Amino acid sequence: MTSEPATENLASATDRPSAVLVCYSCGPGAGSESGAGWNWAVAASKIADVILIAYPGMFRSRIETAIVDHGLAITVHWVAFPKWLLPLFRGKFLGSAKYCMWQALAGREIRRCERRGPIDIVHHVTWASDSLPSALLASRAPVRVWGPVGGSTSTARGLYRYLPLRDKASEIVRRLGNGALRSTSGAAVARHATLVAALNHDVAARWRSGPTPVVIESNTALDPGELAPTQTSGFVSGDGGRRTALFVGRLKAFKGLVVAVESLRHAPGWRLVVLGEGPDRARASALAERIGVADRLEFRGQVPRAEVLDAFRCADALVFPSFHDSAPWSVAEASSLGCPVVCLDAGGGSVLQAGRNAHVVPIAPVATLPERIGACLEGLSGRGEPDHLWYKDRIPHVLKTWYEGSSIGSPVLDRAIDAGGDRPDFRARAEPFDPAQQ
């Protein structure tokens, strides 16, 4: 059995629609995808009776406690892997196989739910890749929402010069392999859905030519309470009169850490504090020594999310030169706390997330990219303005709009689009749709 006993629904209302939310990753108080899964499930429970299909990972007890404490209209169906299968997923390159297997198990649970009684809505929320199958394919509910889904963003060709040989090969395989899968598995899910919610304009551009309406919406769901200042602030900004830039995230080559380090050579008034760990740390350290900026580069390793938020309150900028992030939560968190975000015009995810606090550096010409990032840092005149663009309180309105049959996104989307400048492809198609006609 992959479906474990459910957490009882404590606040159901029979006159409301019934919705199944597929959230492999889900957890109260978590950031990134786990936080998205939980906050979107809670938001859905405000307008529907929710069956939450989730993986019983580290947040299980927190989820069950929160449902009881807050009387949420959520019933949880835990879907786990058979124990004999777990050893097969320990390999480095088996993430896609694990994804497909869990989606198949979740799809079986969706069919069970639909056999037990009418389900009005099925919504695949987290662990949503637009190149791989989805449990949504198992549903025959009248409203089937896919996303916010990401994946179509890829590395611009000019940026390959900043990747080691192995990562160059990995990016090429990723581009070709995911492209082929997107045309088969992803296309099947997009056709079956009644609405595709895209994480950014790249994903929207990939699917807007198909038969299913598309809308752009971030999965970011920030909790204002979690963004409040802590009593024990441990981050100290400034060093010998220099301003502080942050680099936050996994230290993988495509995140652009070496680009950020090289930009220090062109920003003498700045130091760079790195929060995170990963394989690219050694390469970045060696580069810093070689170009003479090692005294302005500090690695603090992996730190708790509360400390990251504290750093955003104090730092003078976040440098985010990632080559292909779909919708980075760290950027949204920084912008919500008034921290300027220096990012590339790559993919559009970071620009969308940063909103009014985005300081966009074009990729081309690539040869001068670090120099232009440095100039952008030197040109910053101060902190930005806190932006509430991606607070979680917008989500019930977004979901109500989607579930009731309109593909027009929430009003805050216009602000995010406008913040990205005059790029018309930031707008997804916003046409009304009728699930009954799908």
For 421-431, the pLDDT digits (tens) are 332 222 232 22
- Residue 361 contacts by C-beta under 8 Å, 6 or more apart in sequence? 321, 342, 343, 344, 345, 369, 372, 373, 376
In whole angstroms, what is the distance from residue 76 CA to residue 435 CA? 26
213: preceding bond cis by omega (within 30 degrees): no
Give CA–CA dist 374/380, Å, rounded. Answer: 10
Sheet arrangement for strand 297-301: 297-301, 270-275, 243-248, 317-320, 341-344, 358-361
Q: State the Cα–Cα distance between residues 196 and 103, nearest whole angstrom.
A: 17
The percent of the chain in helix, strand and coil, each rounded to the nearest 5, is 45, 20, 35
Q: What pLDDT score does 327 carry?
A: 78
Instruction: Give all domains of the chain, ordered by start, each with its CATH number.
Output: 3-221+391-437 (3.40.50.2000), 235-379 (3.40.50.2000)
In the numeric block, which tokens belong to residue 63?
Answer: 């989820």
In whole angstroms, what is the distance from residue 113 CA to residue 116 CA?
A: 5
- Please count the CA atoms within 13 angstroms of the CA of 71 that sit on its side-chain side: 3
Q: Pairing relation of β-strands 74-79 and 49-54?
A: parallel
Beta bridge partners of 76: 7, 52
pTM: 0.81
Helix axes 395-403, 32-45, angle to 10 degrees: 60
Rounded-to-integer distance, Cα 285 and Cα 429, Å: 44
Q: How much is the pLDDT for 13? A: 43
pLDDT of residue 247: 96
Strand ranges (E), 143-211? 143-149, 195-198
Contact present, 231 and 218 (Cβ < 8 Å): no
Please tell me the distance from the alpha carbon of residue 284 to that of residue 290, in angstroms, as a whole number: 10
What angle, 0 to 180 degrees and rounded to 10, lies between the N-to-C axes of helices 32-45 and 329-336? Answer: 70
Sign of CA dihedral 325, 263, 271, 334: negative
Show the tokens assigned to 308.
């990251």
Helix or strand holding residue 167 (H, E): helix 165-181
Alpha helices in 337-423 (DSSP H): 349-354, 369-379, 395-403, 412-419
- Whole-Å CA distances, 223 to 230, 275, 358: 14, 21, 21
- Which of 328, 298, 322, 320 has its CA nearest to residue 235? 298
Q: Report the alpha-carbon distance of residue 262 to residue 256 in Å, rounded.
A: 10
* Phi, psi angles (nearest 5°) of residue 5: -55, 140
Distance of CA 165 to the CA centre of its chain: 27
Find out whether 327 and 200 touch, Cβ atoms under 8 Å: yes
Contact predicate 105/2, CB 8 Å: yes
Report whether 17 contacts 121 (CB < 8 A).
yes
Which pLDDT score, from 0 to 100, does residue 431 have?
29
- Strand segments, DSSP code E, in 55-111 are 74-79
Give the integer Cα–Cα distance in Å for 395 and 73: 16
Q: How far apart are CA 274 and CA 282, in angstroms?
A: 13
Structure tokens at 414: 């216009």
Count of beta carbons in the 10 Å neighbourhood of residue 104: 14
Report the alpha-carbon distance of residue 128 to residue 182 in Å, rounded.
Answer: 12
Q: How many residues does the chain have?
A: 438
Specify the DSSP element, H or E, that contains 428. none
Q: Per-residue pLDDT tens for 79-125?
A: 998 877 766 666 555 667 788 899 999 999 999 999 999 999 999 99
pLDDT in tens, the chain (438 residues): 445 544 444 334 457 899 999 999 888 877 678 888 999 999 999 999 999 999 998 899 999 999 999 999 999 999 998 877 766 666 555 667 788 899 999 999 999 999 999 999 999 999 888 888 899 999 999 999 998 988 767 777 888 888 888 877 877 877 777 677 777 888 999 999 999 999 888 888 888 888 899 999 988 888 888 887 765 556 766 666 889 999 999 999 889 999 999 999 999 999 999 999 999 999 999 999 999 999 999 999 999 888 999 999 999 999 999 988 777 889 999 999 999 999 998 766 677 888 889 999 998 899 999 999 999 999 999 898 898 888 999 999 999 989 987 443 433 333 333 333 332 222 232 222 233 333
d(CA 242, CA 378): 11
Predicted confidence at residue 232, as pLDDT, reads 57
